[in-house]
Structure 1
Amino acid sequence: MSQDAPLRGDDPHAGHDMRRPADDPAATGMDSMQGMDHSTMGHDTGSDASSLSPGPDMETPPPPEAGSGPPRAADAFWGAKAMAASREDLRRSHGDFPVFWFQGDRFETQVRDAKDAYLWDIQGYYGGPTERLWFKSEGEGEWGLSPDDAEVQALYSKAIAPFWDVQAGVRQDIAGPDTTHVVLGIQGLAAYRFEVDAAMFLSHRGDLTARIEAELDQRITQRLILQPRIEANLSAQDIPLLGIGAGLDRIEVGARLRYEVRREFAPYIGVDQSWRIGNGADFARARGQASSGTSFVAGIRFWF
């Protein structure tokens, strides 16, 4: 016996004709596949995907009783009291918990034609997603001297729409004439991602003023950001004691280019241009101040 020939007992198909009969449908299909020109088969990936996989109409519809049960079926098993505590824990752990946030939006030195100056603009809050206690402070002055203008605010904030809060509280001026204001304002994110902060101030002397600020972050790279900014100050009347004119008293526009060394820490440089308008310009000149000016700024922006 040849060494290469397998034993009959080793090969279960030995001696059997494995060819299918001609009338076997499987054989006919295999023959047709062998004779098919595969180069003409459509493999266009842009064809209608709905013909390749079942769509929503092919899925099993939900049973008629789906959604017909009680809205809080778990109460029937565990009790309404136990489930109320569980739902409260779930609500607190998924967003409604107090958070502390603090930001130094502008903390800078300003190089001017006259004496160089400093400026700060900080804000922060403590609270949940819909109710918060805000604090704000800003001021400026010449280096080596006390601030010319400085204020602090304490506000209660309530969400009235997605990205928008209404704020109310008090403002105390801590430089210049002692003045206390009642504050009513709105703060949020407008269309095209403009951050807006607008408020009205009613002083204890009955003077009504307003301030509107808007800024926009234009991301050049993931870390390099250009921020245009505009601020307008208005008054319902002349306030000679504070050197404020009726109508549009002051407008300021600028741009700051910052680099986020970390997301929480970003040095910046920029330029600011301000104008006093109308009677406000007259009050400024009467005090020996310029009615307009350009400042080159450098500072840091931080938050935690």
Structure 2
Amino acid sequence: MRAWVILAALWAQPVLAQTPPAQPVGTDQEAGSAPAPEPVHDRAADRFYPAAQMAAAEHWMMQGEVPSRFQAYRLDLAEARIGKGADGYHLEGEAWTGNLHRLVLRVRAEGDWGQRLEQGEIQAAYAYALGPWWSLQAGVRRDVGVEAQRSHAMIGLEGLSPYRFDILALGFVSDKGVVSARVEASIDERLTRRIVLQPRAELVALAQDDRQARLGAGLSSIEAGLRIRYEITRKFAPYAGVNWGWSFGGTADYARMDGKPAAQRSFVLGVRSWY
């Protein structure tokens, strides 16, 4: 009996192999001829920009029609500082235009309310992109205000370091021959979708004394701050925080002679915006 079963199976095998596969019910298309599904994008920018803007950007990218010039401005700090003694203000902002080659304009200002501008500066620089994260910059800086008014040649680097630190490192040579350097660093730590904590620090050093500007050689000052902002929109965010400043060496001596503290702390209230 087993022999008959085996022979029947062997006889039926070539017949089954020649049987064509059944076509899907209700379709006349050949296998593999259906159109591909629409691609699904998983881009973070889609959550923040209108579909029309994203479609235009995608068209530029796919067709190679990238605009030759972009523009932007950023107001990093626009704040009132409240501490012991006179209350004051502090402003820092930047605007640029270009692409791989950019023209950059920066402004800084600080002083006490109701008084003349104590310290201010205007920077104009040419920036060349070294890669997607860093740019080389060269230009001039002009100091304005009650303190020393002079001009500087300027060179430096700006970019995003590992671990997402925004870095601006600049070297200066004044028209009086004073060599100095400034390094600024900050990082945004997003606590929620709208609340951002930002630690930031600034270090200033000089190669020689600058009596007119009341700055000493070596490490001159360190400033550190901790700010928390609420992004009403990505382009507008009020913030509050605290800021510390320390003077060292000859700079601290000049501050004491002028009746100012070598270390100070202030609470800050301000707004950040960009476009």
* TM bin (shorter chain): 0.7 to 0.9
Of 209, 212, 230, which aligns to 2:183? 212
| Cα distance in structure 2, aligned partners of 1:124 and 1:192 | 25
1:243-280 C-alpha deviation (Å, 9 max, x unpaired): 00100000011111001100000000011111000111
Query: Counterpart of 1:228?
Result: 199
Structure 2 letter corresponding to 1:150: G
Encode CA deviations 1:59-109: one digit per residue, 9 max, x unaligned: xxxxxxxxxxxxxxxxxxxxxxxxxxxxxxx54x22x52111001000000
d(CA) in 2 for partners of 1:290 and 1:139?
Answer: 20
Check if 1:163 corresponds to 2:150: no
The correspondence of residues 17-28 of structure 1 with structure 2, limited to 5 A, is: 25=12
Runs of 4+ more than 2 Å apart: 22-26
Match of 2:115 in 1: 145
Among 165, 171, 175, the alignment partner of 1:194 is: 165
SS in 2 for 1:285: helix
CA RMSD of aligned residues (A): 1.9
- In the alignment, residue 266 of structure 2 is paired with which amino acid? S
- Equivalents in 2 of 1:232, 1:147: separation in Å? 22
User: Per-residue deviation at 1:223?
Assistant: 1.1
The equivalent residue for 1:109 is 80
Percentage of identical aligned residues: 38
Structure 2: state its 5+ residue gaps: 1-7, 17-62
Give, in whole Å, the separation in 2 of the partners of 1:286 and 1:158: 43
1:160 is displaced (CA, Å) by 1.6
TM-score w.r.t. the length of structure 2 is 0.77
Partner residue, 2:154: 183
Cα distance, 1:161 vs structure 2: 2.7
Name 2:247's counterpart in structure 1: 276
User: For 1:167 and 1:295, how far apart are their aligned partners in 2?
Assistant: 32
Cα separation, 1, equivalents of 2:148 and 2:89 = 20
1:259 aligns with 2:200: no
- Could you tell me which of 114, 117, 125 is aligned with 2:96? 125
Larger Rg: 1
Between the aligned partners of 1:107 and 1:165, the Cα distance in structure 2 is 25
- What is the letter of the counterpart of residue 120 of structure 2? A
2:72 and 2:202 mapped to 1: Cα distance?
Answer: 24
Matched pairs, number:
221
Residue number in structure 1 paired with 2:219: 248
In structure 2, the partner of 1:3 is: none
Does 1:172 find its partner at 2:134?
A: no
Residue number in structure 2 paired with 1:300: 271
SS of the residue 2:252 aligns to: helix
Distance 1:135 1:147 in 2: 19
Runs (5+) with no aligned partner, structure 1: 1-21, 30-89
Q: What's the TM-score once normalised by structure 1's chain length?
A: 0.70
Relative to its length, the structure with more strand (as a share) is 2
